[in-house]
Amino acid sequence: MLGSPNRLIHESFDLEPLREANRLTFGRAEIPRYQLDQAELLLSFGAGFLETWISPVQYARLFSRSQSFRQGHKGRFIFVGPRRSLTATNADEWVTAHPTGGMLLALAMTRVVIAEGRAGARAAAIRPIVEPFTPERVAEATGVSAETITRLAQEFGDASSSLALPPGTELAGRNATAAHVAVNLLNYAAGNVGRTLRFGPNVLRRRAAGPGQLAEAVQRMRAGEVEIALLHGCNPVQTLPAALEFGDALSNVNLVVSFASFMDETAAVADLILPDHTPLESWGDHEPEAGVRTLMQPTIEPLFDTRATGDVLISLAARVGDAVAGRFQQPDYRSYLQDAWRRVHRDTAARESFEEFWRAALSRGGVWRETAAEPVTLNRAVAGVDFDEPTLDGGERSAYPLLVYPSPTLYDGRSANRPWLQELPDPVTKIVWNSWIEIHPQTANQLGVRTDDVLEVTTPHGRLEVAAYVHDGIRPDVVAVPIGQGHTEFGRWASGRGVNPLALLPAASDDASGGSAWLTTRATLAATGRRARLVRTQGSDDDLGREIAEVVSVALAREEEEHAAEAHEHDPEALVEAAEDADPKSPYRWGMTIDLSSCTGCSACVTACYAENNIPVVGEQRCAEGREMSWLRIESYPEHVISEEAHGGAHTGGSHGDETGAPHVVHLPMLCQHCGNAPCEPVCPVYATYHNPEGLNVQVYNRCVGTRYCSNNCPYKVRRFEYFDYEFPYPLNLQLNPDVTVRQKGVMEKCTFCVQRIMSARNDANAQGRDVGDGEVVPACAQTCPAEAIVFGNLRDPNSRVSQLARSGRAYHVLGELNTRPAITYLKDVARTGEEA
Ligand code: SF4
């Protein structure tokens, strides 16, 4: 803004290898749109697109459109990678390849696709590139057998539409660009470019400075060549590898200014902190992808004595001198933004005046238009790409490749000061408020290590101590640590929690693109003899055969749905049983369906429920005592797929070989079931919990005397008791929902189906002399779910979406054999094995 040539953009997880790979393969240094919704066969070589990769909310929506069970059909998703991430838990098949094996696997698969004549005229240009990479040659290096590689390639080539996604952050090594090119070649061979992989509607990310550029900046700072450093929207002292010593270098700068809204590690070493407004207090705009421009306006007055960074820079420019001041005619950032949008107005050729256009854009949140896909051709430069396998630092035989992955909840640590997110269980391990190192049970046995043992982890670049978490979601020859914790300065919620694994990494870059390389080193482990306590909110990963989480094959799901459709045709007005469980005179019996084939386990609904319902955060100690207050939790169970043949008899695992034997993970949102025959109700001595005329299981807070009999008698264990008066210290009290009572010590509470939203819709409908319509009430969990897994509505209306879904052949009730008559109907998860069409 002030014209400095030394402006650097720091993104912890940059996409430079992807951009460079696209330049080399297609002559376009861009990030294309991945049409996950149109891929019959989706294959990820490690991209965690349901967690942190590029645009996880958008991808979850697209993913559920092709991969959940709809109209008798489900796509197939294969995940290739050494660790069962949240994304991998949603796969029909997990291929446990070696961490550096993705590139060779993609090249070998491309070779098979070509050899089997599935690449058509596209084969000629890429055959010489992939010719040396036979499945047999790469099998050992990838950890995947030649038979499996051939089978995967055949499936990929045979699919009516397919899409391969590149390695994600944690698998990006010093050869990241080459690995991305290899995946591009597979997509090209299978004819996916222009279909499921489209240039034109690109993701627009600014180019980020790689470790090389950042190292140069560090050198300049050390040499005293930097007079002033302005740091905005970043915390490089925490989010760059410790080996770069960015914090030390800053001490050689005359004036370090931080614009952080919260105290963080970089602000702590700054000379001057000029706190920016938070996003809720700010003006701004953003262009996430071609054709989409979003506009942001303040929703509240600034709470503290803060100032928008844009305003600071504009007023600074006015004082710097005419040359700079002349470039800014506007008195403040809001006017600057508005003037920038005059250009958008001109570009859109809108007929309305600018004022009308601006107001409409503010009320809609922006402007957008469809962007057409643009054809691309193969770039000859791709023939020169070097597909050498990367080496990892610390090559001793006893050392394990170290995966350092972005936390699905805390990302690079910027969200670690949000208590909601600290208390949100990690979707895979279910651990809260801490860090861990993931180790396979076989490795743990060899080392004599158990969960909670504190290990010393050493790489050639650093060491730290962290507690072990032993589970089978990782290859035996790999270990993994999430990024996000280990703050020294981040307020009362984050400081001093867990470890920052960036202490173990070099500041390494991908050779071709200069982007960050994360998979660069091996680590040795040594037990310290000490124990720690990792707090998990899920007691057991086994539902002990009680069929809490169910998963069936596509064929069986089809058969079940066909039977249900026949019954429905016979009696289209039939209501589900639960519809009876309300006052006969009430037009409503509220109910919910949760489609487990759509739910990805992302846990967004859990935090939405906290926000909507004023649920207190209790901290790690109380969670350890089982006193977390969440009204909604995600239970994840590895389950065996029930197939048609096995129905009523044995189960089948649906596995294909030694690399793929993992069962399917079912994520199941668990909340109050609003039972028609609720076990909690008859045991309450004061009628604090009772059944209301609309079928809701209601909790009257000021009647509750805290005997907790209801919780004891609830088979779903979804009731939470306020053992303490929890605080919402300022300014957290400002986030409380005024429509929801804040509960006190001694009161039982649980999901109300967002009764405040039901009441609001009912009041509106009553005022207009009509019934509440279908879709008018959307609880916070359903509103937030990116996968559209949750549907809420009136079970007394046979045509409501919830009634129709509750009559699905896949419908079942959790613990329904207890005759609780739940108002929540689950739809069984569906897994598609390689043999299923
Ligand atoms: S139901 Fe919850 S956990 Fe499942 S996909 Fe939706 S938001 Fe995520």
| Locus of tokens 């299978």 | 190
| Coil, helix or strand at residue 347 | helix
pLDDT tens string 429-438: 999 999 999 9
Model confidence band, residue 357 (pLDDT cutoffs 50, 70, 90): very high
Residue 791, CB half-sphere, CA atoms under 13 Å: how many? 18
| Locus of tokens 């294959």 | 43
Q: Tell me, what DSSP letter sits at residue 193?
A: B
Q: Is the dihedral of CA 413, 44, 655, 543 positive or negative?
A: positive
CA dist., res. 486 & res. 264, Å (int): 12
Which of the residue ranges 249-258, 316-325, 448-457 would you say has the lowest mean pLDDT?
Answer: 316-325
Model confidence band, residue 650 (pLDDT cutoffs 50, 70, 90): very low
CA angle 522, 101, 436 (to 5 degrees): 40
The reply to whether ligand 1 has any atom less than 6 angstroms from the CB of 601 is yes
Ligand 1 centroid vs 601 CA: distance in angstroms?
Answer: 5
> Which atom of ligand 1 is least distant from the CA of 600?
5
Q: Is the dihedral of CA 614, 620, 621, 622 positive or negative?
A: positive
pLDDT at residue number 644: 61
pLDDT at residue number 649: 39
What lies within 8 Å, CB to CB, of 193 at 6+ separation is: 26, 187, 376
Q: Whose CA is nearest to atom 5 of ligand 1?
A: 599
Ligand 1 centroid vs 787 CA: distance in angstroms?
Answer: 7
- The first and second tokens of residue 180, run together, are 């991305």
Mean pLDDT of 59-71: 96
> Which atom of ligand 1 is least distant from the CA of 601?
3
Mean pLDDT of 722-727: 94
Model confidence band, residue 572 (pLDDT cutoffs 50, 70, 90): confident
Mean pLDDT of 217-239: 95
pLDDT at residue number 770: 97
Q: Are the C-beta atoms of 748 and 721 separated by less than 8 Å?
A: yes
pLDDT tens string 89-115: 999 999 999 999 999 999 999 999 999
Position 751 pLDDT exceeds 90 = yes
CA dist., res. 770 & res. 470, Å (int): 56
Q: What does pLDDT average to over the chain? A: 93
Position 655 pLDDT exceeds 60 = no
CA angle 241, 242, 245 (to 5 degrees): 110
pLDDT at residue number 519: 96
> Which atom of ligand 1 is least distant from the CA of 60?
5
The reply to whether ligand 1 has any atom less than 6 angstroms from the CB of 424 is no
- What is the dihedral angle through the alpha carbons of 587, 591, 597, 600, rounded to the nearest 10 degrees? 130
pLDDT at residue number 648: 46
| Coil, helix or strand at residue 526 | strand
| Coil, helix or strand at residue 552 | strand
Residue 403 zone, left/alpha/beta (φ > 0; ψ -120 to 50; rest):
beta
CA dist., res. 376 & res. 391, Å (int): 33
Ligand 1 centroid vs 391 CA: distance in angstroms?
Answer: 38
To test the pocket of ligand 1, the residue of 600, 610, 633, 636 to mutate (highest count of ligand atoms within 8 Å of its CB) is 600
From residue 375, alpha-carbon distances to 28, 121, 574, 801 in Å are 11, 16, 51, 40
- The first and second tokens of residue 674, run together, are 């609003």
pLDDT tens string 553-570: 999 999 999 999 898 888
pLDDT tens string 788-818: 999 999 999 999 999 999 999 999 999 999 9
The reply to whether ligand 1 has any atom less than 6 angstroms from the CB of 669 is yes
From residue 633, alpha-carbon distances to 681, 750, 752 in Å are 22, 11, 14
What lies within 8 Å, CB to CB, of 807 at 6+ separation is: 564, 567, 568, 574, 576
- This prediction has a pTM of 0.95
CA dist., res. 482 & res. 410, Å (int): 9
pLDDT at residue number 775: 96
Residue 780, CB half-sphere, CA atoms under 13 Å: how many? 23
More confident residue, 335 or 324: 335
The reply to whether ligand 1 has any atom less than 6 angstroms from the CB of 473 is no
From residue 578, alpha-carbon distances to 219, 614, 781, 810, 825 in Å are 69, 29, 21, 16, 9
pLDDT at residue number 642: 80
Q: Are the C-beta atoms of 535 and 620 separated by less than 8 Å?
A: yes
Ligand 1 centroid vs 634 CA: distance in angstroms?
Answer: 8
CA dist., res. 333 & res. 341, Å (int): 12
Position 289 pLDDT exceeds 70 = yes
Q: Are the C-beta atoms of 156 and 189 separated by less than 8 Å?
A: no
Strands 292-296 and 366-368: antiparallel
Model confidence band, residue 3 (pLDDT cutoffs 50, 70, 90): low
Helix axes 16-26, 176-189, angle to 10 degrees: 50
**Among candidates 412, 750, 782, which has minimal Cα distance to 604?**
782
Mean pLDDT of 327-351: 89
Position 645 pLDDT exceeds 70 = no
To test the pocket of ligand 1, the residue of 537, 605, 827 to mutate (highest count of ligand atoms within 8 Å of its CB) is 605
Instruction: Read off the amino acid at residue 3.
Output: G
Residue 797, CB half-sphere, CA atoms under 13 Å: how many? 18
Q: Is the dihedral of CA 693, 699, 700, 703 positive or negative?
A: positive
- The first and second tokens of residue 685, run together, are 């001595």
> Which atom of ligand 1 is least distant from the CA of 784?
7
Helix axes 102-115, 123-130, angle to 10 degrees: 130
Model confidence band, residue 513 (pLDDT cutoffs 50, 70, 90): very high
pLDDT tens string 153-198: 999 999 999 999 999 899 999 999 999 999 999 999 999 999 999 9
| Locus of tokens 């084939």 | 597
Q: Is the dihedral of CA 223, 500, 398, 522 positive or negative?
A: negative
